[in-house]
Amino acid sequence: MSSKNSKIIKILILIVVILLLVILSIELLPLFKNMTTPEGRQEIKYSLENMGLRGVFALIGLMIAQVLVAFLPGEPVELVAGMCYGPIWGTVLVIIGAFLSTILIFFSVRKFGRSFIYTFTSKEKIEKLEKSKWFKNPKKLELIFLILFLLPGTPKDLLVYIGGVLPVNSVRFIIISTVARIPAILALTVLGHGVIEYIINI
């Protein structure tokens, strides 16, 4: 296969992936928008509880979808998790979803991301960039990622995509990106559980 044909195929694959993410976003946006209101969260809470064990998998699936479509807000899912399953199990389920989606994104980007980058810029430029001080010290990159994942308000799901193309150790990155999410997720599941307790005691 010629280099030109290879580039065309890569670009077409990229377009298909983007289209799939756009379609997924369009399908999920009304649901996530509904989850930003107290009434919407209550409605989804009852739906998940009525689904029994399937509700657990549905919640994990929602978290996976939210991380895949990085601009969708994660807070509503975490609040609903706390409302349905309490702060501990709610946190566990959200972390499982985040962990699975991080693995999927990270290794997909690591496998295909570099070749896509080469489609739009020369291999020599990328190699020159990788020889810079930043890229010669992956541990500094890991520390930066740890800080960013711990900071509230940072686009954590987008960071997973970025991490896939950087020279960080895959196992350590996945551990960092998963564990560093816990404080923020726990805070939101506690808040979600507190809302339900307040409503029950009114």
CA distance 28 to 33: 9
Kindly report, residue by residue over 137-165, the tens digit of the pLDDT.
Answer: 778 888 888 998 998 778 888 888 888 88
| Amino acid in position 57 | F
Kindly report, residue by residue over 48-87, the tens digit of the pLDDT.
Answer: 778 888 888 888 888 888 888 777 777 888 888 888 888 9
Domain count, the chain: 1
* Residue 39 vs residue 146, higher pLDDT: 146
* Maximum distance among all Cα pairs of the chain, rounded to whole angstroms: 70
Predicted TM-score (pTM) of this structure: 0.74
Domain span holding position 39 = 3-201
CB atoms under 10 Å from CB of 60, counted, come to 22
